A and B are shown apart, each in its own frame.
Chain A
Amino acid sequence: MDYKDIIAKYADMPGGIIESFHAIQKELSYLPEEAIVEAAKVFNIPAAEAYGVATFYSMFSTNSRGKNVIRICESAPCHVAGAAEVVAALERELGIKMGESTPDGLFALEFTECVGQCQATPVITINGKPYLDVSPAKIPGILAEYK
C-alpha cells in the first residue's frame, strides 16, 4: 500500500500520527521523508514536529533499513545471561555490525532495551516476534526462517 493511503486511514484518529507511523513501518520497515511530510500535512502539524515524533521513538527509523528488523535486548537481565555472545554470533552470521543492514536488504541489526520476555534470557525479536533463551548455536536456524 502507498504511504499516503496508510496515513489517510488514521486521519480522523486524534493523535493518530504514531499509529500511522507504525503502519507505514510494517510495509516499508522505515519512515521515508516524504511520508513524514505527508503525515504532518494530514495531522495538521508543522513538518518539524512530525519529524520530532519520528525521531523520538526508538522503534521508528528515518533511515532505510533491512526488511526484517532483528533487535537484541541488552538490558541487565539479558546482559548477564550472555547477550554479548548472541550479538557476536549475529554479526558473524550476517556479516554486518550492530546498527547496520545486510546489503541484500533482508536484515537490520539493532539493540533494544528489555522487551518484556525476561523469563527466558537472552532474548531477541524479529519484526516484534520474540525468540527466547537464544544462544549462538540457535542463530542460523532462527535466521533461516526469514530467508
Chain B
Amino acid sequence: MAEEMRIVLRNYGKIDPLKIEDYIAQGGYKPLEKARSMDKEALIDEVKKSNLRGRGGAGFNCGQKWLFAYKADSDVKYVICNADEGEPGTYKDRMIMENDPHTVLEGMAICGYAIGATKGYIYLRGEYPQLVDILNTAIAQAKEKGVLGEFDIEVRSGAGAYVCGEETALIESIEGKRGEPRYKPPYPPVEGLWNKPTIVNNVETFANIPVILEKGGDWYASIGVPSYPGTKVFTLTGDINNKTFFEVPTNTTVRELIYKFGGGIPGGKKFKAVQIGGTSGAFLSEEQLDTPVAFDNMAAVGATLGSGAVFVLDESRDVVDVTTRIAKFFEHESCGKCAPCREGTARMHELMEKLNAGKGSAADIALLERLGRVMSYSCLCGLGQAAPTPVLTTIERFQADYNAKLM
C-alpha cells in the first residue's frame, strides 16, 4: 500500500516559515542558482522531462506551457501564481504557503528565469488575509538576501469570487476589472496580463519546481502513475475520521485515501459517496473506489482530480440535498458573462430545489440531464462546463436517492 511522500510539503514542521535561513539550511534557493546556470531551453526541457502536470485542476504539462511563453516574442513577460484556491473543501495551497512560502517564491523565480520574466504576482484569495503578511515577509527576506536577483514578486488579493481562479478571469482581476473569463485563444502564455505573455501556475505546481531541479526530471517522472507523476496533496472533509491533509504519490487509490489515510468513516457507519476534486467534481460510489487518483485514471470514471478535495458522505446522508446545495453554489458563482451558464446554473438550482423538496418528477430529472449535457459543451469557461458534473454523476450513481424523493 502507498505511503505518504512529501515533496511539496517537504519542509512542513521542519522550518520556521518566517525565517529564510531555515529554508536555505534545507538546501533552499540552491535549485534557483542551478537553474540560472543552465541554458533556458535545457531548463525547460528538464521540467518537461519530469512530466509535471498542473496541480490547479486542468492538468496541463508544465514544461510545455513554459515553452510557449519562452518562445513568445516580447520584452515584457509575467509569472502569476494562482493562489485563489476557491474550490470548496480545499486548503492545500494554504498549507503550502503557510508552512513554506519560500518554496513558492523559488518556483516562481525559476519560471521567471526560464521564460524571461522579471515580474511575478501572487493572486491570493481574499479569504486568506493572514497569508498576505507571511508572503510579504518572505518576499522581503528574499529581496534582502538577494536570492531572487532581478525577479520581483507582488501579492494581490482577490475579493471572494470563485471564478477568479480561472486563469483569464484572474488576469482581469489583477488588471483591476470584474473577474470575467476571456475568450480563448489567445491563451495567457501568448497574451495574458496586460496582453503580455504570461505563465499562470498553481501554488502546488510551483512548489514542485525546486525539487525537480534538485533531483532531476527523471527522478520525478518515476514517482506514481507515469502519465501524471509525482505526488498530490489531498484534503479530506465530510464524514471521515481524519479530517486532514495528505501528500501521496499519484498511484494511491481513492479507497486508500478514505480508509488508510482518512481512517474510514466515523461512528461505524457505511460509506455512501465521495466527491473528488472539489464542488465541481464527480461523485463516486463504492464501485469506483479502487481508481488511482491520477488525472487520466480519474477521467476514465468521469471524474477530475481537480484541486484534490475529497469529500466523503456516509450512508445517513441525503445525496440530493447535498447536490442541491452545490447547485446553489454555481448559481451564485456564475459570472453571468455567457447565457448557458447564467441561465443554466439558475435553472439547475431551481430544478434541484424542486426535487429536494419532494415536488419533482422523473421529467424534471430528464430535463436536468439534458440541460447538464448542453451546459457541458456550450458554456464559455470551466465553471459552467463543470457545474453539471455533480448533478449528472449523482443522477447516474445514486438514482435511489432521487427516486425516494419523487412526487
Are B89 and A114 touching (Cβ within 8 A)? Answer: yes
A38-58, CB < 8 A from B: 43, 49, 52-53, 56-58
Q: Within the complex, which residue of A74, A115, A121, A129 is in contact with B237, where a contact is CB–CB below 8 Å?
A: A121
* B156–A18 CB distance below 8 A: yes
Q: Is the CB of B91 within 8 A of A119?
A: yes
Q: Which residues of B contact A18 (CB under 8 A)?
A: 156-157, 159, 173, 176
Interface flags, B92-109, vs A, CB<8A=1, else 0: 001000000000000000
Closest to B178 in A: A56
Please tell me if the beta carbons of B237 and A77 are within 8 angstroms of each other in the complex.
yes
In the complex, whether A62 has a CB less than 8 A from a CB of chain B is no
A102 located at the interface, meaning its Cβ lies under 8 Å from any Cβ of chain B in the complex: no
**Total CB contacts across the A-B interface at under 8 A:** 121
The docked-state distance in angstroms from the alpha carbon of A14 to that of B179 is 16
Across the interface, do A116 and B311 meet the contact criterion of CB distance under 8 Å? no
CA distance A88 to B6 in the complex (A): 41
| A residues 107-129 in Cβ contact with B at 8 Å | 112-121, 125, 128-129
Contact between chains at A76 and B275 (CB < 8 Å)? yes
Residue pair A113, B86 in contact (C-beta under 8 Å): yes
Contact of B91 among A53, A112, A116, A125 (CB under 8 A): A116
A 93-115 to B, binary, CB cutoff 8 A, 1 in contact else 0: 00000000000000000001111
User: Given A76-B88, A118-B88, is A112 in contact with B235 using a C-beta cutoff of 8 Å?
Assistant: no
Query: A53-B178, A57-B179, A119-B245 in contact; A77/B89 too (CB < 8 A)?
Result: yes
- Taking a contact as CB atoms under 8 Å apart, the answer to whether B243 and A14 are in contact is no
A65 CA to B94 CA, complexed, in Å: 29
Return A56 CB to nearest CB of chain B, in Å. 4
B44 — which chain A residues lie within 8 A by C-beta?
A: none
A17's nearest neighbour on chain B, judged by CB, is B176
Interface assignment of A75: CB less than 8 Å from any CB of chain B = yes
Query: Is B150's beta carbon under 8 Å from chain A?
Result: no
Q: Indicate if B313 sits at the interface (CB-CB under 8 A).
A: yes
B194 contacts which of A14, A77, A80 (Cβ < 8 Å)?
A14
- As a 0/1 sequence over residues 71 to 93 of chain B, the CB contacts with chain A under 8 angstroms (1 = contact) are 00000000000000111111100
CB-CB under 8 A from A80, the residues of chain B are 238-239, 313, 317, 322
Min C-beta distance of B145 to chain A, whole Å? 25
Q: Which residue of B lies closest to A22 (CB)?
A: B157
Cα A19 to Cα B176 in complex, Å, equals 9
CB distance from B246 to the nearest CB of A (A): 12
Q: Could you tell me the distance in whole angstroms from the C-beta of B284 to the nearest C-beta in chain A? A: 15
Please report the C-alpha to C-alpha distance between residue A73 and residue B94 in the assembled complex, in whole angstroms.
Answer: 17
- Partner of B90 from the list A21, A22, A53, A116 (CB cut-off 8 Å) is A116
Q: Which one, B91, B161, B244, contacts A58 given CB within 8 A? A: B161
List the one stretch of B8-16, B122-130, B183-191, B366-374 in contact with chain A: B122-130
The residues of A with any CB-CB pair to B shorter than 8 Å are 14-19, 21-22, 43, 49, 52-53, 56-60, 74-77, 79-81, 112-121, 125, 128-129
Subset of 30 A-B contacts with CB under 8 Å? A14-B194, A15-B156, A15-B174, A15-B175, A43-B176, A52-B178, A53-B176, A53-B177, A57-B161, A57-B179, A58-B159, A59-B160, A60-B159, A74-B325, A76-B279, A76-B311, A77-B88, A81-B238, A112-B160, A114-B90, A114-B279, A116-B85, A116-B128, A118-B89, A118-B90, A118-B237, A119-B235, A119-B244, A128-B126, A129-B130
